[in-house]
């Protein structure tokens, strides 16, 4: 398992620099390949938006979360999915693109006014995670 700090990713994401996100992912891919991994999984939905800039140059194959979701939705006959995630994810094309490619259905998008309410409730805890010095990993406990 390897990851760069959330702060590094957020610098790219805040600039809408998905190729930059991809470069961070590619850096991790090379480290994991050297460590002996057979394939790669990115457990973060949001940064999947950087994956198109990585796939062709990656030393290993990636398991794409939205492709797995689309496959399961098709297999189970689901026609409409609700995805919970960051504004970058719900405003992006990660899931709609994969669902459309599989003809699995559509994603319901949360209205912007509902997203504002959800976002305001997370403002108390989210900023701590953009500073690696304040992250749970470095402090040994989760801030509530």
Domain spans of the chain, in order of start? 1-63, 65-126
Mean residue pLDDT of the chain comes to 76
Decide: helix, strand or coil at residue 25.
helix
pTM above 0.75, yes or no: no
Calpha distance 132→141 (Å, rounded): 13
**pLDDT at residue 126 in the model:** 46
| Sequence-ordered list of residues with C-beta below 8 angstroms from that of 86, at least 6 positions apart, any chain | 45, 46
Q: Which fold has domain 1-63?
A: Rossmann fold (3.40.50)
Which of 20-29, 42-51, 66-75 has the highest mean predicted lDDT (pLDDT)? 20-29
Residue 101 has pLDDT above 80, yes or no: no
**Residue 103 DSSP one-character state:** T
Tell me the β-bridge partners of 53.
none
Tell me the β-bridge partners of 107.
81
Confidence of residue 112 (pLDDT cuts 50, 70, 90): low
**pLDDT at residue 140 in the model:** 36
């Amino acid at each position: 398992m390897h990851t760069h700090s959330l702060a590094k990713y957020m610098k790219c994401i805040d600039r809408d620099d998905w190729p930059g996100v991809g470069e961070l992912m590619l850096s991790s891919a090379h480290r994991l390949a050297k460590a002996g991994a057979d394939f790669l999984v990115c457990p973060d939905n949001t940064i999947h938006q950087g994956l198109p800039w990585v796939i062709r140059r990656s030393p290993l194959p990636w398991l794409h979360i939205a492709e797995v979701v689309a496959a399961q939705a098709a297999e189970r006959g689901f026609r409409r999915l609700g995805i919970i995630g960051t504004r970058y994810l719900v405003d992006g094309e990660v899931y709609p693109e994969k669902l459309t490619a599989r003809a699995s259905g559509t994603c319901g998008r949360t209205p912007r006014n509902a997203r504002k309410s959800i976002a305001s409730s997370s403002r108390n805890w989210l900023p701590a995670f953009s500073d690696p010095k304040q992250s749970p990993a470095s402090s040994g406990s989760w801030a509530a």
